[in-house]
Amino acid sequence: MTPAERMTRWFEFDFWPLYPRKVAKKTARKAALKVLPGKIPADIVAGLKAQLPKFEAMVPAGDIVSVPHAGTWLNAHRWEGEPEPARVAVAVMPDRYSKARTVTNDAIKFLGESGHANKRRRSGKDR
């Protein structure tokens, strides 16, 4: 078996099944083939396993987009870093009426309390 075949086999059977975000597999495989030479594959898998709790906490919370693509994770050598503590992102929904309230409040300020643009109407004599 050639080194490229071994690396591909490692990617397909050891790395990819563990990685939580299953997108851009071709790019991830290419990244694996680029970073694996000179690295110990077991260290990469161990680093991934150490970071899995953080990733797994993001997925049920609907924050899968914060989990990096596997290719990005590999290219950045993220298995070498200390795993960050798991955190859960909270989605903040915008208030759909906030813009309407802002426009209404601005109009009230502009028009004044009476609701008219000119509170004092001038008679023709004052002009």
Residue 49 lies inside a defined structural domain of this protein: yes
Structure tokens at 26: 């071709």
The Cα–Cα gap between 58 and 52 comes to: 10
pTM > 0.75: no
Say yes or no to pLDDT of 125 above 90.
no
Residue 108 lies inside a defined structural domain of this protein: no
Residue 32 lies inside a defined structural domain of this protein: yes
Among 23, 9, 67, 18, CA closest to 44: 18
**Full domain range(s) for residue 69:** 3-80
pLDDT attached to residue 96: 60
In degrees rounded to 5, what are phi and psi of residue 93? -85, 130
Q: How many domains does the chain have?
A: 1
Residue 92 lies inside a defined structural domain of this protein: no
Mean pLDDT over each residue of the chain, to the nearest integer: 77
Residue 121 lies inside a defined structural domain of this protein: no
Structure tokens at 57: 């906490």
Residue 13 lies inside a defined structural domain of this protein: yes
Residue 123 lies inside a defined structural domain of this protein: no
Q: Tell me the per-residue pLDDT of 58-102, one tens digit each, with 9 for 90 and over.
A: 777 677 788 889 999 999 888 887 766 555 545 555 566 555 666
Return the ∠ at Cα 52 (arms to 46 and 55), rounded to 5°. 150
The answer to whether the CB of 53 falls within 8 A of the CB of 20 is no
Say yes or no to pLDDT of 124 above 80.
no
Among 9, 19, 3, CA closest to 74: 19
Residue 31 lies inside a defined structural domain of this protein: yes
